[in-house]
Structure formats: C-alpha cells, structure tokens
Structure 1
Amino acid sequence: MAVAVALTAVVAGLTAHAAVNAGRWLRRPPARPGAVAGRVAVLLPLRDEADRVTPCLRALLAQRDVPGLEIIVLDDGSTDGTADVVRRVAAGDRRLRLVTGTPPPAGWLGKPYACHQLARHADPAAGVLVFVDADVVLAPHAVAAAVAELRGARVTLLSPYPRIVAGTAGERLAQPLLQWLWLTFLPLRAMERSRRPSLAAAGGQFLVLDRAGYAAAGGHAAVRDRILEDVELARAVKRSGGRIALADGSGLASCRMYGSWAQLRDGYTKSLWASFGSPVAAAAVVAALLALYTVPPLLAVAAALAGAGRVALVALAGYLLGVAGRVLSARATGGRSWPDALAHPVSVALLGWLTFRSYHLRRTRRLSWRGRPVL
C-alpha cells in the first residue's frame, strides 16, 4: 500500500506542475503580431530532403508582415536532387537564395556546421536569425509572431515548439513525449530567470535568435561537436549572459519529424545518449520514469487479482493521473490526446528501450545519421 500511495503522490505532483507550466508560464506568441521592422534571415539547412521540403519552402515564401525577409537555403551535400527542388519551388523569388555547403571539417558535426555556414551567409543587417528544419511547415504569420515574441519577451533565444504531427503507431507513442517531458519536469519560469546553463531546453526545428546574442554565445561554433546542438546552443546563450524561453508554437508551425518506425527509431537512437550526461544518469532517469508511469497500471492489475482492492484503487489513480498529465500536455501544445494518452505507460517503456539502444550502439561505435557517423 505504501508503495502505491508514494508513486501516486509523486505523479500527482508532477501532473500539477505540468498544469501550472501550461496554464501560467508557457509563452504563447501573438496571433496577430503586425509588421516586423528590420531585416530577418530565415535559415534552412537541407541534406537529402527532396521528398519532403516542398511544403516547408512554400510556407516560407508565403510569410506575411516581414518586409525585410530573406530566406537562405543551404544544400548540405545532397545526392537526391534537393537543390533542383528548391530552385523549382522558388521560381526565381528574389527573397530566397540557395547556397552550396561544404563538408564539415574535423571536429564538426554536420548539422552545426550547416547552420554555421547559413549564419555567415545571412545579410549583416539581419538582426534576427530564424533556423527552420525541412520537416517544419510554418503558418503565414509564424515568423512575424515569433520575432515579435522574441522582442517582447526580451530574450536572446526563443524556441516556439511546433505542433508535432504523428501518423504511425510508433510516432503516436513516442513523439508526444517531447512536449510532455519538458512541461512535466522543467520549471519554465525558473528556466527563463535562472543563469544556470544546465536549466535549458530548446527545439532546433524552429529556433529564433537575436543575432547579437547569437554571436556573443559563439554561434554554432560553440556547439560544433554536439549532437543536441539546439539544447547546447541554449546553454551557450546562458553562459554568455543571454536569456532563453520556450513557447507554444502549435499555432505557428507543424512538424512531422519521422515518416516511419525505422526513421523514428534511428532518429531517437542517434541522440538519446546525449540527453542524460552519463549511462548511470540515464539508468536512474529511466528507472524513475518506469516506476512512476509503468508500475502503477501493472500494480493495479496485480492487486485486483490478489483481492487487494484498496491498493488496486490507489495504483489505478496513479495510472490515471499519469494519463491526465499526458492529456494536459497534448492539449497545451496542439497534440492528439485521445486515445493515445491511455497508452502512456507503453510510451515510457518505449523511451526506455530507445535509450538503452542508443547507449548500446554508441558503445559499439555503430551510430550514424544521414550517412555520417555520430561519434
């Protein structure tokens, strides 16, 4: 009984914390921001994205209320005709410029070096840099709203988290955990106020930066060898004295990160090892998540079969509180809540397996992404 009560109490506290984050501290960019003054550079790195970049490009070219907009697209060694797709969609629009990237030098990973090159190509007069991934589709007012929030919040780095689109069963199990994890465990208000680099989060799919602050933090050169370059860039901004903020970007952008189970599995595997600091820390975090969110439904069933009705009810309450947290995070960030939230224990167990796989493949030096090794 004591174990069931303790687990349920902790889950209740975490769900309450998520509710406070979502209801009070999560920033929501303006729906009608008005015209943005000054130059803004939108930067898009591409590597073998011919089959999915068209919606992203069309959305960028449809941006409103940004008179000083420039769009720079970098072809990072694509072999599938990505550059031809970019030229066809741009159709001579002078706001868009396509540049050819060079291979990353020693000590650099591919994504940070592509972003580094893009920033160097941006107009020196552009005071705001907006990094976007190829799987992101922006609403027509997205760039203007994000820039307005960046300036209104007086932060150096703003991460408006897109609405995550999930199609397959694997995506529906894993992808909602991204928003759920930071809403549940990250104190958003403290993150904005604290100078501690360790208290940071960001999503590289849609990232908005004050250019002067980006330069002061060292830009992507400061995170040249980091697989989680988005989070590490946020930490670099904090170390340089800047401020960061997360925002609900579900009204500004949508993103389908992976189109199949294999892509999702390999995408998480390449980076999860970098999320915890050490295998010991990863094991502790995964064990805690499993205890809090996977044990209660199992305990409820076992107790019910054993005739321990009170224990079963308390454990069931723990499970339902976990489901409630998942529903809350989905509704706060534009995601799908039902019936996916009912499988939350399975989602947590899947995260544990992906984490184990990530560390195993890293230890055996078999991690790679987009044809490049992840060391």
Structure 2
Amino acid sequence: MTAAAELFFWVIAAWWASACLMLVLNLLLLPKLASDLSLREWPSLTVIIPARNEAAIIGRTIEAHCRQDYPRLQVVVVDDGSSDGTAGILDNLQRSCPCLEVVRGQEPPEGWLGKPNAQRVGLSRAKGDLLLFADADVLYAPGVHRRAVAELMSRNLDMLLLLSHLESRGLEPLVMTMLDAFCLYASPSFLHNIPWFRSFAFGAGSGNLVRRDAFEAAGGIDRIKAEVIDDVAMGKMMKRYRGRFRFVTAFDSIRVRMYEGLRGCVEGFTKNYYHFFGRNPLWAAFWQGGDLLVHTLPAALLLASLPFPALAPLRWPAGLAVAAGLICNAATCLWSRHPLWAALAFPLRPL
C-alpha cells in the first residue's frame, strides 16, 4: 500500500477532526428561539403562505397560524392553482377565521417563477409592518408568533430565520439527516449570526420573519423572482443588506414533513441540490464527490480490508474517520430529534 494512499486517508481523518470541532462550536453557539422575551407594543404581522395542492395538511397548518395569540395578525394564503381540494378547505377556514384572507393566484409575469410570484400576490394584500414567509406544510405550535416577533424586535433585527424540526418516518431519516448534518458539523453555521460575515446566510420555508421596510429596501420580492430556492435567496439578500440577521432553531415548536417516503426524499433533494450550489454543475459535482469521499469511502475501506490484508495499513485513519462520523451523526440525530439508528447508516447517505 503506497504512502500516498495512507496520507489520503489521514487527510480524510483530519477533515473529520475539524467536523468534530465544528460540531462543538455550533452546539455551543447556535441559539434556540427565545421563550422569555416580551414587548410593550406588538407591531402588526402578516403571514404570507403560497399553497398548491396541500389538501392533506393545509387545514391544520393554516388554522394553527390563525389561532395564534397575536394582536393585529393577518394571514394571507395564496391558492396557486390547486386542483386537489385545497381551495375548498381554505374557503371553509376563511368563514371561521377573521384574520384569514384567501387570494387566488395569478399567472406569473415573464421572468417570474411560480412561488415568488405567489408571494408577490400575497404581498399586494399584506398590511403588516412585519412579514412572515412560510410554506403551507409547516405546522406552528401556539405562541410561536409572539416569541419570534419579540426576538426580532428586541434584537433590532431585519430578519429572523426560524429553523424547524424535519419530521421523518420509516427510512426517511437516511436522507433527511443530510440537511441537519450540513448545518451542525459540515459548515460553520454559527457564522450566520455574525453581522460581518455577509455571505454566511440562508433562509427556509419553515419561517423567514422580516421587517417590511428592510425587506423592500433590500430589493424586495422582485430581487428573488427567478430563484428556485427562493427562501435561501431571501435570507442571503437580507443578510447582505446590513447584516442584521439571526438564525435560531425552533425544533420544539415548528415542524414540517418535507417529503413522503424514501423515494420522495431522494427525488426532492436531487431536484434542489443543483440549484443550492448556484446551478454550477462543477461546484455541485465537487460537493457530491467530497461527500462520498468523507462519508462513504472510509467505511467501504474498512469493510474491504477484512478480505484484503494489503489494505490493513489504512485501517487506522479509516477507522478514526468512521468513529468520528458516528459521533458527529449521533450528535446530529439527538440535536435534530431524528432516530439514532440513522447515525449508524451515515455512510449510505451520499449514495
């Protein structure tokens, strides 16, 4: 076995050592949504939710927004051409929820994608000083609106990103832990909350809460009209504006099931992966290759070394990499409330 191969696997082990450090820093520095803040005066709030074929869940999610104990609340839902009964459910809810306004979607103008266009339509009806952009399948627990607004106003932020718990069932954690792993040990997520690092920011369909005046000054919905991952683009736009951005976890009070079944998870991540990396095929291929190298290759090498003694010199660095991977992924599962068995299967995730 060549020295170059041994060095290569020690480099992978060193990457995992840095991942363990990143894990510790993020666990220490990533904040949870505060529960002990309050305001003397509550600004008006509009929740903007585009909806398309969400009949299975939309009754629960929209009612959860409407039943929030928040003064001066408006909930605007844009039915973007649903064909599955979503419109009827929304019409029934509107009769019992005074703060709810249901708007029919419009055809996107040239240059606009569907979801940003639906948000544009919702914005035209919004009355709030604050805007909460959320997806139609995200379920909010009671009291979240007050907690989020209190944190945004108390900290003088332009945007507060609310990260939700990603629900998963069956074999879905094999894939769904990918996002949590990226946040917790594969990237310096704590830098999102440091104003000087303007390029470190993202958003999520679980909840982008913004000041309306700052949102419009930063470029508004027109700025992200052609973005496939519009919520991430919104977060980056708001952070670049003047850095008053904060990212908090709200696993105890916001949850969403992004995809149904293992196949749905794989298809969903495959669709968004290319766009997440700026639609640059080389950059996306680089990250996918790196994912295979650090997550899959060390475990494969350990298994291959059993029948092939010539690979024995590589067992130490590969074994250390696998051990560190198990630690990082077990911590990720505990942090994100996924079953621990998914940590054992982490080498399979990039496949």
Contact 2:295/2:350 (8 A) holds in 1 = yes
Cα distance per residue 1:125-184 (max 9 Å; x no partner): x22111111211111011111122222333212211100001131x21111111211222
> What SS class does the counterpart of residue 306 from structure 2 fall into?
helix
Q: 2:98 aligns with which of 86, 94, 98?
A: 94
1:365 aligns to what?
A: none
2:146 aligns to what?
A: 144
Task: Quote how far apart the aligned CAs of 1:252 are.
Answer: 2.1
Cα distance per residue 1:83-124 (max 9 Å; x no partner): 21012234422111111121111100011111122122111x
Cα distance per residue 1:309-330 (max 9 Å; x no partner): 5632431221121122122223
TM-score norm. by structure 1 comes to: 0.85
Aligned residues: CA RMSD: 2.0
In the alignment, structure 2 segments of 5+ residues that lack a partner are 1-5
Where do residues 305-324 of structure 1 align in structure 2 (5 Å cutoff)? 305-307=307-309, 311-324=314-327
Counterparts of 1:232 and 1:133, CA distance in 2: 15
2:3 aligns to what?
A: none
Q: Output the amino acid matched with 1:323.
A: L
2:19 aligns to what?
A: 14
1:363 aligns to what?
A: none
Counterparts of 2:174 and 2:95, CA distance in 1: 39
TM-score norm. by structure 2 comes to: 0.91
Cα distance per residue 1:352-371 (max 9 Å; x no partner): xxxxxxxxxxxxxxxxxxxx
Counterparts of 1:242 and 1:3, CA distance in 2: 39
Cα distance per residue 1:318-353 (max 9 Å; x no partner): 1121122122223223x214101111111122xxxx
Contact 1:11/1:322 (8 A) holds in 2 = yes
In the alignment, structure 1 segments of 5+ residues that lack a partner are 350-375
Find out whether 1:303 has 2:305 as its counterpart: yes
Counterparts of 1:45 and 1:51, CA distance in 2: 15
1:39 aligns to what?
A: 44
Q: How many residues align?
A: 343
Contact 1:77/1:103 (8 A) holds in 2 = no
Counterparts of 1:178 and 1:244, CA distance in 2: 20
Where do residues 13-162 of structure 1 align in structure 2 (5 Å cutoff)? 13-23=18-28, 25-34=29-38, 37-64=42-69, 66-123=70-127, 126-162=128-164
Cα distance per residue 1:45-103 (max 9 Å; x no partner): 11111122122022112212x11211111111112221210122344221111111211
> What SS class does the counterpart of residue 121 from structure 1 fall into?
coil
Task: Quote how far apart the aligned CAs of 1:37 are.
Answer: 1.0
| Cα pair distance change 1:242/1:113, threshold 3 Å | farther
Counterparts of 2:301 and 2:87, CA distance in 1: 55
1:191 aligns to what?
A: 192
| Percent of aligned positions that are identical | 26
Q: Output the amino acid matched with 2:86.
A: T
1:362 aligns to what?
A: none
